[in-house]
Chain A
């Protein structure tokens, strides 16, 4: 179904490196944190792409690079045929009206000195004053729009003159959602929108996001570290590790048949709220921690922690392999050639050979 559709957003070989500098006066770049290190994916209209991974794997950086909050180091982000990385400021701003974000921490993402009305109206006011809207809005139009939005996300519009501290975490997240909806975006980038919320509030917000998607035909890129949440909301899922996508697939297929050893470990580590299931499960416990993303690796990025590693993986970077049109995985285990019998010497010798 999605193969015939034209993608709404195309990300191609996106890289986001943050320089590490040393020296106090003359700052010299001594290295780079490779937060996002060459990722490519498509997002189709109306779908929800979930991105999972551990902290530091580059999920948040990915969406921030897409929305041009960070200028990507290289690669392209094509939205509606416009490359946002290369486009000039005004074209980019105009295109970005359709890309909005919801942030993780509802306590930090709302200005404590603005009223709810001014928070929700801010995107409208900014785009209106820059004349980037099709039809200019009067202040009365904006007022009405704010009230509509508040009602739509389940906030009492009588509260519009209140300040964020008067609201609970769940209500603040609703304010953040209303703000994101203000410009009628096509795609919403939601960066861990439910992680900071209590269980009973989390399900309210997830239901709200689902309803809004149906009503406005929204497309989501949804980040979470909770695998059950991702499964609930996503149509497709990308698993990230150390700045790279290791597996991307339809959600159902990924959860039923995870291929990458990291995905398998991640799924087996996630607790299931049922004591019967939980006590009979076999866990794959990964050893060690996520390494620092400060250097480029020749081999597989997951090599150090992989339970199924082969000598070949230490010095050959796995490409994205197509398992079927809807399922790609970056792992040598699924290559057409069998690498399991290659010794370390042979693998190193092969890696040293100049590429033809």
Chain B
């Protein structure tokens, strides 16, 4: 598994910024996130709760509740077109059709009052008006068979509560892929599921995306899932991408102190010696309300320097698409310049 630079770029997110207005101040939930997704590729977005991974993808789907939320800057290019500029009606043509989403909780993302068949037929007919109900039902049954629901003809007439968690997630995947989606956004698709069911669902997503050439954006907090599934990984912290690399590179050479700490703090089944203390990142994730211009990780960072407290680190390319936002990799001139600027500003205020 490696990136194919010749594959078609299907989705490009450039400097995306989504802010929420609250009584306490402005929450910069996503603050300048960029990434590229190519055909047939799986990109992982990892981070702790509140790091902005879900908001990033809700912004891509244009599902941010506004107010209080607002996409204040950046571009989301889908097949070369900025979907942030589309009207709601045009967006509806794309959402659920060309860009689909699977949500974390399969218990709440299906309508409990409607049969699975009604919900699946609705999805298909909404996007392809010429399809008759019979055809749509036939296609739904095929999709259910594809995701491995036994006796799909019969089960499609059941209600969501008659399905188990794993099966509901399969229905969600079938629904998301029933319209030949080019991008599948999976927001923590296996967090609510058991380990053995998780393995089934991940294998299914992997198999289907290879078969249909769908690009997958996989949001998760589980570093193990990322290692097995993704070609490329973005690590997010406090609304920003702090490190972006090919999966192998990221695990072999984690360059940002946060990524390094994160990888070291997970107990591993294959190597951990019992009784050793785990490495742990002290402190709590920051409050992102009115964050001053500094590296948001510096209070928890073991390698923090003076400059980290005063300016946001520039993004540095370490080669092979491995990008890291950390002052450790900046040259002295840039650091001195940032420090000088910060001092000027402090004096001014």
Contacts and interface: CB of A to CB of B under 8 A. Distances in A.
B195 A198 contact: no
A5 B49 CA distance: 44
Given A54-B196, A210-B277, A232-B278, A255 B284 contact: no
Nearest to A55: B194
The range of chain A's interface size is 35 or more
A100 B200 CA distance: 36
B284 A289 contact: no
B223 interface: yes
Interface residues of B, number: 44
Nearest to B202: A271
A234 to B, nearest CB: 8
Given A266-B195, A273-B251, A199 B274 contact: no
Contact of A273 (B194, B263, B274, B278): B263
A66 to B, nearest CB: 23
Nearest to B267: A232
Given A207-B277, A275-B251, A200 B196 contact: no
B221 interface: yes
A171 B48 CA distance: 16
B248 A231 contact: no
A170 B280 CA distance: 13
Helix, strand, loop or mixed for chain A's interface?
helix
A274 B268 contact: yes
A199 B228 contact: no
A228 B265 CA distance: 11
A204 interface: yes
B199 interface: yes
A266 B251 CA distance: 24
Contacts of A170: 284
B224 A198 contact: no
A277 B227 CA distance: 9
Interface in B215-254: 221-228, 247-248, 251
Nearest to B204: A285
| Most chain B beta-carbon neighbours within 10 Å: one of A203, A225, A270 | A203
Nearest to B279: A203
A279 B265 contact: no
Interface of B: 1, 48-49, 164, 166-167, 194-200, 203, 221-228, 247-248, 251, 261-263, 265-270, 272, 274, 277-282, 284-285
Interface of A: 54-55, 168, 170-171, 198-204, 206-207, 210, 225, 227-229, 231-232, 235, 251-252, 255, 265-279, 283, 285-287, 289-290
